[in-house]
A = this chain, B = another copy of it.
Amino acid sequence: MGGVTGIRTDERASERRARVGLTWLAEPGDAVLGREIERVGPVGVLERISAQDPDLPGRRNYAVRLPRADIDACLEAVDSCGGRVVIPGDGEWPTQLDDLGPARPIALFVRGHDLRLAAVRSVAVVGARAATAYGVTVAADLAAALADAGWAVVSGGAYGVDAAAHRGALSASGPTVAVLACGLDVVYPRGHASLLEQVATAGTLISELPPGMHPTRSRFLQRNRMIAALTRGTVVVEAAMRSGALNTAGHAAELGRPVLGVPGPVTSAASAGVHRLFRETGAQVVVDAAQVIEALGLIGELAPEPSVPRRVTDGLDPVALRVFDALPARRPLPLSEVAVAAGLDPVLVGGALSRLGVLGLVISGDRGWQLAHR
């Protein structure tokens, strides 16, 4: 038993090292490599890259970084920035990422709280970097309310809506996950050093890129697929016509996860992409956290009916309402004149006036009936 466990532990350790090595050689979201990993395992794939096996598709691309790939140095760098490696099969692996198929991350680099626990009931809140004050306010309020309701807020750590979402969740002492498009030790954007540190402490910071890697456009796009795959659905708060948030929404839709959007002024270019989502992809309009939770939550988590102001005339029968409407604003009117104004049989009008009187809505005097002063 001990021996078998030892062998299996060794196998896991080898797989872990191989996966870390592969994150060095391949770019995120490489489904071709992913299929090879599924077929022969990460150790086998790494060996075939090293041997430049002619049957391995794209072998020359993966070989380019081989001379610099140093798995031990990489693991040390992960360690020294307080991170850990999480691979498929680990207890902390968020299995919803498996929905990405062969394009699922080869490994994850993680800092902070348990990723799987955080992500099990999570929602992506993403949007424009160039957010307006409106977008920032809405994203922060939404994230705080979602966190209050026990939902983890996942975003990309970028300026604008992303930052507001993380800050909102942190302000409510809720879990939040930032998915980076660079290594855990690379501070990007620079201005978010303190925010990302807070997320790593109170929440979880993750990347599928090994330490030292810098963000590129395609890494941002692949990062977006991770945000979509980690969460039960994606809420877009402000997005210009070509916002990366629309890319996240597209990934969510492909994965069959709901895409939600917060509307904004049609005069604001920062909301144009969200409105386009409603129009072209059937994204759902949401205005608050309760509606987000209803769309993503378990059956039974229904948003409360929106509160509608009550009026004194609510619940009046049609005849009483018509009589009430027929009374002039200030002066009293004899019953016969009320009947003419209402166009109703005086007998009906008399009954209605009595009912309205009981409710305190009308009073009668020497000169007839009038509205009660309220």
- What 10 A-B pairs come out closest when comparing CB atoms? A263-B263, A60-B345, A216-B325, A266-B287, A278-B285, A217-B325, A241-B308, A61-B344, A64-B339, A61-B345
Counting chain B CB atoms within 10 Å of each CB, the highest count among A27, A265, A309, A313 belongs to A265
For the complex, what is the distance from the CA of A134 to the CA of B63, rounded to whole Å?
A: 58
Query: Are B291 and A285 in contact (CB-based, < 8 A)?
Result: no
* Interface: A218 (CB within 8 A): yes
Query: How many copies of this chain are found per oligomer?
Result: 2
For the complex, what is the distance from the CA of A271 to the CA of B64, rounded to whole Å?
A: 56
- Residue in B closest to A294 when the chains form the complex, CB atoms: B279
* Interface: A322 (CB within 8 A): yes
Contact of A242 with B309 at beta-carbon distance under 8 Å, contacts A285-B278, A345-B61 already known: yes
Minimum CB–CB distance from A235 to chain B (whole Å) comes to 12
Query: Are B60 and A309 in contact (CB-based, < 8 A)?
Result: no
A64-B346, A218-B321 known, 8 other contacts, Cβ within 8 Å: A64-B344, A216-B322, A241-B306, A263-B263, A264-B266, A272-B287, A275-B285, A285-B285
| 24 A–B contacts, CB within 8 A, in A order | A61-B345, A61-B348, A63-B345, A64-B343, A65-B340, A65-B343, A138-B265, A138-B266, A216-B322, A217-B313, A217-B321, A218-B321, A241-B306, A263-B264, A264-B265, A266-B287, A272-B287, A272-B306, A275-B285, A276-B306, A278-B278, A279-B284, A279-B287, A279-B291
Interface residues of A in 330-350 (CB under 8 A from B): 339-340, 342-348
Q: Which residues of the partner chain B approach A308 to less than 8 Å between Cβ atoms?
A: 241-242
